[in-house]
Chain A
Amino acid sequence: MTLLGDRQQLSYIASQAADARVNLELETEGMTLNIGPQHPATHGTLRIIARLDGEQVVWVDPSCGYMHRGYEKLTEVRTYPQVTALVNRIDWLGSFANEVPFILAAEKLMGIEAPLRAQHIRTILFELSRIANVSLFLGDLGVQLGAITPVFMAFRDREYVLNLIEGATGGRFHPNFDRIGGLKDDLPAGWIDETRTVMKKLRRFCDEIEDLLFGNEIFQSRTRGIGVIPRDIALQYGMSGANLRASGVDWDLRRDQSLPMAWDKVDWKVWTHPDGDSFARCWVRLQEVRESTRIVEQLVDTIPAGPVMTKVPRIIKVPEGEAWVCTENPLGEMGYYVVSQGDLGPFRVKIRSASFNNMSITPWLLKGVYVPDIVTILASLYFILGDIDR
Chain B
Amino acid sequence: MANPPNEEEFQLSLTTDTPAATDVVRDGILARVQAALGDKIVESLLKPGDDIWVRVRTESWRETAVILRDLGFSYFDFLSAIDWLPSPFGRGEDDPTEPAPVRDNTIRHGYTGGDTRIQMLARVVDPTTSMGINLKADVPDDNAHIESWTTVYAGANWHEREAWEMFGITFDGHPDLRHIYLPTDFEGFPLRKDFPLLARIVKPWPGIVDVEPMPGGDQDEPAQDGDAQ
Contact = CB atoms under 8 A, between A and B. Distances in A.
Interface of A: 1-2, 4-5, 8-9, 12, 64-65, 68, 70, 72-74, 76-77, 79, 81-82, 108, 110-117, 119, 179, 181-182, 184-186, 232-233, 235-239, 249, 251, 253, 256-257, 260, 304-315, 317, 320-324, 326, 333, 335, 337, 339, 341, 343-345, 348, 350, 352, 356-357, 359-361, 364, 389
A306 B10 contact: yes
Nearest to B153: A236
B214 interface: yes
Contacts of A249: 127
B97 interface: no
Nearest to B18: A111
B9 to A, nearest CB: 8
B209 A315 contact: yes
Contacts of A237: 76, 153-155
B184 A309 contact: no
B210 A115 contact: no
B206 interface: no
B1 A111 contact: yes
Contact of A311 (B4, B190, B200, B224): B4
A79 B77 CA distance: 27
B76 A339 contact: no
A122 B96 CA distance: 42
B116 interface: no
Contacts of B200: 77
A109 to B, nearest CB: 10
A182 B216 contact: yes
B221 A251 contact: no
Contacts of B211: 81, 314-315
A20 to B, nearest CB: 15
B10 A305 contact: yes
Contacts of B13: 113-116, 119, 260, 310
B6 A73 contact: no
Given A235-B75, A238-B75, 9 more contacts: A9-B184, A181-B214, A236-B153, A251-B130, A308-B216, A337-B134, A350-B78, A357-B158, A360-B158
Contacts of B9: 306
A258 B10 CA distance: 22
Contacts of A320: 110
